[in-house]
């Protein structure tokens, strides 16, 4: 049996691509830092979850039983990652004059809607930070004596008590970027809060009793606690955006080392997770990614402008996750066109298959894996399957994997059941929902559109009739009327897309 290519993944801790060997044979346990639910996620945040989703799908494809946890941060994250500023949740709640719980629920649901729209698979668990306060207190108590010290503002972790602090960030402990000593009395600039006491005379919306007074946990604590509790130390892979490589994850690692009473980071498992993986940023030049700018880039904004959310997913897949990706509307439009071409080709393939009277091709029980796929396709398509597996196993090379999928779609003479089988298997990794998507679904009506699609179709029918009778005056008049309502008539469009708004 062909085993498939070895899965190699880039480990930020060693700055090297490494072969994936699971901690528990046959299993893969993954923890992804989730959103802080004080506002809508921007599309950059969603790139982090598209990446984690492709990672999870790839682990399933390689035959591992996946347990994926994504957390929801509803407490503790300050406006500055390094212990400065206000609690993001408290701040937004005050601004909106709502309770933190209402804020958290609203933005968690908005985030889940984006997860669904981007066809990101549900993790085994959405762990919500405030459900783990007791566990956080137990964890903090267990490391307090050896690794922490108390100040009037809270309990702080002394980073000099663990070996190799900051290895992940590759930053010198005292001079690392962004480490301004904000809290009086900290022993080292990089020391961070494990517990933040509520200041004397104040009442916070979210506060709990602790041996160090009433207060709330520090942000880094929650991820150590939930990942350790739900996945067990060491687990396989911890993911997040590249910004987390600098402060949040080094601090998690230090806590995990302290908790496990284990040694230096030359042995990766001592950090709590064997592999630490980070997606690079989605960037946008004019600052629209910032949640503090008025109309910031949310997935819903893309949808309102008429872009199908899976066009954004495709845009993400067009870049390898470790490269920076620049967002532009032109780039998004090109991704939508590419998706339309794929969907048209899939529909043609499905039609050829149905015309032969064959049953629809279905995924095997338990979903597609490379091994199950090879049982179902014949010799001619095997090289494509193998190349696809090599690409995705090479640190998730989605740009190359996409071109192999397109190569498959360009082959017109293959047995349709085999082509559809291979297509379904590839899409199980890429998650573009190609077998279900209908061409018509890809055309979304922009929110501000003054005319609805049925009206446009009716006008185009009348125009067609006029042209058939060589009544070009009427035909042109209809075209102008449509143009006045923002409809662009596209005669002879190779994608058969006769109009756009
Ligand atoms: P936050 O809600 O700020 O904790 O961020 C959620 C996730 O999005 C984290 O993994 C961040 O590292 C990631 N992230 C933030 N900004 C971007 C961006 N522009 N591009 C890609 N990922 C990002
Ligand atoms: Zn985290």
pLDDT at 178 over 50: no
Residue of higher predicted confidence among 431 and 78: 431
**Test site for ligand 1: of 241, 284, 322, most ligand atoms within 8 A of the Cβ:** 241
Atom of ligand 1 nearest to the CA of 47: 21
Q: What is the pLDDT of residue 484?
A: 87
Closest-CA residue, ligand 1 atom 19, reads 44
Report the alpha-carbon distance of residue 276 to residue 261 in Å, rounded.
Answer: 20
**Does residue 174 carry a pLDDT above 60?**
no
Q: Is 282 in the pocket of ligand 1 (CB under 6 A)?
A: yes
Distance between CA atoms of residues 97 and 128, nearest Å: 23
| 241 Cα to the center of ligand 1, angstroms | 5
Atom from ligand 1 closest to the CA of residue 244: 12
Q: What average pLDDT does the segment 97-101 reach?
A: 89
**Residue linked to tokens 């080094």:** 250
Please report which confidence band the pLDDT of residue 1 belongs to, taking 50, 70 and 90 as the band edges.
low
Q: What is the distance in A from the centroid of ligand 2 to the CA of 345? A: 41
Of residues 359, 269, 358, 369, the one with CA closest to residue 7: 369
CA of 220 to the centre of ligand 2 (A): 6
Task: Assess whether pLDDT exceeds 90 at residue 445.
Answer: no
Q: Is the CB of 47 under 6 A from ligand 1?
A: yes
Instruction: State how beta strands 78-80 and 8-11 pair.
Output: unpaired
Q: Which residues pair with 157 in a beta bridge?
A: 148, 192
> What's the rounded mean pLDDT across residues 179-184?
64
| Angle value at C-alpha 169, between 168 and 173, nearest 5 degrees | 105
Q: Distance from the CA of 136 to the center of ligand 2, in angstroms?
A: 14
What are 229-279's pLDDT values in tens digits?
A: 999 999 999 999 999 999 999 999 999 999 998 889 988 888 999 999 999
The mean pLDDT value of the chain amounts to: 92
* CB half-sphere exposure, 278, CA atoms < 13 A: 22
Atom of ligand 1 nearest to the CA of 77: 4
Q: How confident is the model at residue 177 (pLDDT cuts 50, 70, 90)?
A: very low
Q: Answer with the residue of higher pLDDT: 173 or 21.
A: 21
Choose among 487, 483, 482, 491: nearest CA to 500.
487
**Mean pLDDT in residue range 488-501:** 81
> Quick one: pLDDT band at residue 149, thresholds 50, 70, 90?
very high
Decide: 289 in ligand 1 pocket, CB within 6 A.
Answer: yes
Please give the Cα distance from 325 to 127 (Å, whole number). 29
Kindly tell me if the per-residue pLDDT of 43 is higher than 60: yes
96 or 335: which leads in pLDDT:
335
Which ligand places an atom closest to the C-alpha of 77? 1
The answer, yes or no, to whether any atom of ligand 1 lies below 6 A from the CB of 147, is no
- pLDDT digit string, tens, across residues 283-318: 998 878 888 777 789 999 999 999 999 999 999 999
Residue pLDDT, tens place only, 100-121: 899 999 999 999 999 999 999 9
Kindly give, in sequence order, each residue whose CB lies less than 8 Å from that of residue 310, ignoring residues fewer than 6 positions away: 118, 119, 339, 432, 433, 437, 442
Quote the pLDDT of residue 82.
64
CA atoms of 33 and 71, how far apart (whole Å): 6
State the distance from the centre of ligand 1 to the C-alpha of 368, rounded, in angstroms.
30
- Whether the pLDDT of residue 204 is over 90: the answer is no
Ligand 1 centroid – CA 382 distance (Å): 38
Instruction: Give the rounded percent of residues in the chain with a pLDDT score beyond 70.
Output: 96
Q: In this predicted model, which residue has the larger pLDDT, 201 or 67?
A: 67
Ligand number, closest to the Cα atom of 243: 1
Mutate to test the pocket of ligand 1, among 36, 39, 44, 82 (most ligand atoms within 8 A of CB): 44
Which residues on neighbouring strands pair with residue 489, listed in sequence order?
499
pLDDT at 173: 46
Residue 475: pLDDT above 50?
yes
Give the residue, by CA position, lying nearest to ligand 1 atom 2: 35
Per-residue DSSP letters for 435-465?
TT--GGGG-PPPTT-SS-HHHHHHHHHHHHH
Residue 262 structure tokens: 């284990």
pLDDT at position 176: 44
Domains annotated for the chain, with CATH where assigned, are: 8-291 (3.40.50.620), 305-312+328-439 (no CATH), 452-500 (no CATH)
Confidence of residue 175 (pLDDT cuts 50, 70, 90): very low
pLDDT, mean of residues 51-56: 98
What pTM was computed for the model?
0.92
Q: Let me know: does 156 contact 148? Beta carbons within 8 Å.
A: yes
pLDDT for 379: 84
- Measured from the CB, is residue 76 less than 6 Å from ligand 1? no
Question: Taking 80 as the threshold, does the pLDDT of residue 2 lie above it?
Answer: no
Closest CA to ligand 1's atom 6: 35
Ligand 1, atom nearest to 325 Cα: 20
Q: How far is the centre of ligand 1, averaged over its atoms, from the C-alpha of 390 (Å)?
A: 28
Instruction: Identify the pLDDT of residue 171.
Output: 62
Q: 78 pLDDT exceeds 70? A: yes
Q: In this structure, which residue's CA is closest to atom 15 in ligand 1?
A: 45
Ion ligand 2 residues within 5 Å by Cβ: 33, 223
Predicted confidence (pLDDT) at residue 194 exceeds the cutoff of 90:
yes
């Amino acid at each position: 049996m062909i085993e498939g290519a070895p899965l190699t993944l880039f480990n930020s801790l060693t700055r090297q691509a490494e072969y994936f060997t699971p901690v528990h044979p046959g299993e893969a346990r993954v923890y992804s830092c989730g959103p802080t639910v004080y506002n809508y996620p921007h599309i950059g945040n969603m790139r982090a979850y598209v990446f984690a989703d492709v990672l999870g799908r790839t682990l399933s494809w390689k035959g591992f039983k996946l347990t994926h946890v994504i957390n929801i941060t509803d407490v503790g994250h300050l406006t500055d990652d390094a212990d400065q500023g206000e609690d993001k949740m408290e701040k937004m709640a005050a601004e909106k004059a709502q309770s933190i719980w209402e804020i958290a629920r609203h933005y968690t649901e908005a985030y889940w809607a984006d997860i669904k729209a981007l066809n990101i698979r549900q993790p085994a668990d959405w762990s919500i930070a405030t459900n783990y306060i007791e566990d956080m207190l137990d964890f903090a108590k267990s490391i307090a004596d050896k690794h922490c010290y108390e100040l009037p503002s809270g309990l702080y972790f002394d980073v000099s008590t663990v070996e190799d602090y900051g290895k992940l960030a590759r930053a010198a402990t005292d001079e690392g970027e962004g480490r301004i000593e904000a809290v009086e009395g900290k022993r080292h600039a990089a020391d961070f809060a494990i517990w933040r006491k509520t200041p004397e005379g104040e009442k916070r919306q979210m506060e709990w009793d602790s041996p160090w007074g009433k207060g709330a946990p520090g942000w880094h604590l929650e991820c150590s606690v939930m990942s350790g509790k739900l996945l067990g130390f060491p687990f396989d892979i911890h993911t997040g955006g590249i910004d987390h490589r600098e402060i949040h994850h080094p601090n998690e690692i230090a806590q995990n080392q302290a908790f496990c009473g284990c040694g230096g980071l030359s042995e990766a498992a001592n950090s709590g997770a064997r592999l630490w993986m980070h997606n690079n940023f989605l960037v946008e030049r004019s600052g629209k990614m910032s949640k503090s700018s008025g109309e910031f880039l949310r997935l819903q904004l893309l949808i309102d402008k008429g872009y199908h959310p899976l066009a954004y997913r495709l845009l993400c897949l067009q870049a390898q996750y470790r490269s920076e990706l620049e967002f532009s509307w032109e780039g998004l439009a090109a991704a939508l066109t590419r998706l339309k071409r794929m969907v048209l080709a899939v529909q043609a393939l499905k039609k050829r298959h149905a015309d032969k009277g064959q049953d629809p091709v279905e995924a095997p029980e338990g979903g597609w894996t490379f091994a199950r796929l090879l049982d179902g396709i014949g010799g001619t398509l095997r090289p494509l399957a193998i190349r696809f597996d090599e690409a995705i196993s090479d640190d998730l090379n989605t740009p190359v994997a996409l071109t192999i999928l397109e190569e498959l779609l360009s082959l017109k003479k293959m047995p349709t059941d085999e082509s559809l089988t291979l297509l379904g298997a590839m899409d199980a990794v890429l998650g573009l929902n190609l077998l279900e998507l209908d061409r018509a679904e890809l055309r979304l009506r922009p929110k501000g559109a003054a005319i609805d699609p049925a009206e446009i179709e009716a006008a185009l029918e009348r125009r067609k009739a006029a042209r058939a009778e060589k009544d070009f005056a009427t035909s042109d008049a209809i075209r102008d009327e449509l143009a006045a309502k923002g409809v662009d008539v596209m005669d002879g469009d190779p994608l058969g897309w006769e109009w756009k708004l």
